[in-house]
Structure 1
Amino acid sequence: MAEVQDRLTAIDGKLMVPSPSPASVFVDGIAVSADDAEREARVREAWEALDVDRQRRIVEEMVTVKILPAPRGVRDFMPELIVVRARRIDSRSER
């Protein structure tokens, strides 16, 4: 019985290890530069090198996007119906 409990404890320990968020992995991969323009260029280059799935995961982690319902009969695109908000950063948890 003690052996089973030890194995369960080991499994629980593995399950509770937080994995780094996609955004933190992305940022950690970019060297910090004193020059804002250089840093922006590095971020842009790194972003464009990511596949769409990774870009999507980073955006999902950083913002929420809500598309409001269009008024009846409106068929044209209305950008004001798209609401983008930054997610609240919680330092206690990693996604």
Structure 2
Amino acid sequence: MRIIGALVRLYALPVTKIIEIVTDRFHRDDTGSYLTIDRHPVLLPPRLGQLIKEQIAQPRTTTRMRRALDEASPYLLPGKFPHRPATPTGWATC
């Protein structure tokens, strides 16, 4: 996934930390898009900010039951079960 690759390359974040990112760590304002890493908001490149915005906004599944659960998921990259993050091994081939 491009978001993971960008966060690894730009900020040297390990995948295990990236998959734990929750959506409320991302925000946009008039000056740009920010991702709070630890306790520090980091200005993102515009394209990465757009990718994260799209990831948060896009429906993740087509079934009604899963879609209802996905909407409540706090994770930027939800796992098989929406209330849990993705696993690092699932993204190892990205």
- TM-score (normalizing by structure 1): 0.30
Larger strand proportion, structure 1 or 2?
2
- Greater radius of gyration (CA): 1
- TM-score (normalizing by structure 2): 0.31
